[in-house]
A and B are shown apart, each in its own frame.
Chain A
């Protein structure tokens, strides 16, 4: 369990954090969401003891990170945005160095390393130089490094940034597995990623906590998507006019238009009514074939707007 109380961090004149407080419960995945520069990494660096806060406290399982750093750090595994890897060591050498660094006893070491290696699936690369691994594997080695010493809390800073979609799926799956036995704080600026993994979300913006919410509440708040995307063939003007005449439609904005295909964004004023059926029948009646029809995912900016305006 981590208790974060009123963290403030100044960088010169800039106030990066302006009083952040939240709690991470045992065995929960806490999503840490915010646009770039909101203070996610700074907060994580303070929780792990890499940086010190200007004021405020962090307690890890009851131990203050500044007053009892060794006890607090024992319980934390940290994967920074740039994994702390030595590129000219093999995976095996690197992990055994981490064991040394975290002061693991010789007799526990082999069993624990074997368990970690099979969990993060790096068994086939243990003798290769880290510098020669793909980015996905490097990220796994980074996670393995965080797992050494069997900490109860994992802090992962943007673990899927820069990975290809396959690797992203695999890392997410791995985090899911880990979440059964660990408390995890995971930061991201991608909303859907947090929705897929986390139980609870802390949204920060501009150095302040904008919202703390469970995923279900958050999705409920966002479920009535207010925009639909429609691409079709047919006369653009007529189609727009017909859709506008459907009750509940506030506006139709052309996104893309070519000879063959038009793409419009339909803004809905009344989010409680589902007007997708009406749109379909309008299109069918006009004989205008639909090529794509979906609700637009809310962007992070919209989430912020919706959260801040809802209060």
Chain B
């Protein structure tokens, strides 16, 4: 696994990918921090939370090549014909992408130092937001790896990753629409206001169950909920396992 991790991590810096991702992140983090700084009220937690909206751009850039490029260049042969096992390939690529996020985050840590040095505070909510950021990054990276394993085109895998992350990010909007729609449709059929409202609530609740942003909303105020982290971790593991199965299946493919 270490072999794969090392290669994949260094690969980000052999190609423009690592630099582009770091540049985008640094720009965004710097921009948000500076506008806070200029207004005189710095909040690291709200900066980190704003940065989460850019997963949809940064994660596809990082993960799109990981398996798609291997398949295109025929280097995936190495994973199947050397004694390395496929799950450690998946894990190595996953950790490499996560480590790249670690590098990007040096920005935020530097900003924390600047904040403290200027008499600001980095409270427990800020650290909570950082923890949530990495758990969500883990989750979305595993989504990206799965998309990359599905096909051998980087563009297609980037688009698939983009769409899945986008859906996660707008889940609360989707659930609002679903609630209103269910409510209206049921009311027109049954004319029963209580039933239609409660069904709408249930559907919205079901959709919100999948919303990592709603689940982790309390972290910024310093309320650490383990179940939310376990949720992110579980989603990550499920997607990594699916990725592993996709790679494994290739060997058995009949078509």
Contact = CB atoms under 8 A, between A and B. Distances in A.
B73 A54 contact: no
Given A84-B75, A85-B73, A78 B81 contact: yes
Contact of A100 (B3, B76, B252): B3
A100 B2 contact: yes
B227 interface: no
A229 B75 CA distance: 45
A133 B78 CA distance: 20
Contacts of A12: 254-255
B78 A98 contact: yes
A101 B74 CA distance: 16
B83 A74 contact: yes
Nearest to B15: A88
A149 B82 CA distance: 10
Interface in B219-255: 251-255
Residue of A69, A83, A97 with most chain B CB atoms under a 10 A cut-off: A97
B41 to A, nearest CB: 45
B7 interface: yes
A80 interface: yes
Interface residues of A, number: 31
A10 B75 contact: no
Interface string A63-84: 0000001100110101010111
Contacts of B74: 80, 82-84
Interface in A79-127: 80, 82-89, 97-98, 100-103
A88 B69 CA distance: 12
A175 B136 CA distance: 51
A50 interface: yes
Given A49-B81, A98-B78, A101-B78, A54 B254 contact: yes
A284 interface: no
B83 A70 contact: yes
Interface string B176-205: 000000000000000000000000000000
Chain B contact residues: over half helix, strand or loop, or mixed? Answer: helix
B226 to A, nearest CB: 36
A51 interface: yes
A50 B80 CA distance: 5
B50 interface: no
A76 B78 CA distance: 12
Contacts of A70: 83, 85
Interface in B128-173: none
Nearest to B69: A86
B84 interface: yes
Interface string A39-67: 00000000011111010000000000000
A-B CB proximity, top 10 nearest: A100-B3, A82-B74, A84-B75, A70-B83, A48-B81, A50-B80, A84-B77, A88-B14, A12-B255, A78-B81
13 contacts: A10-B254, A50-B77, A51-B253, A73-B82, A74-B83, A80-B77, A82-B73, A84-B78, A100-B3, A100-B7, A101-B78, A102-B82, A103-B84
Given A48-B80, A50-B81, A102-B84, 18 more contacts: A10-B254, A11-B254, A12-B254, A49-B80, A51-B253, A54-B254, A73-B82, A78-B81, A80-B77, A82-B74, A84-B77, A84-B78, A86-B11, A88-B11, A97-B7, A100-B6, A101-B4, A101-B78
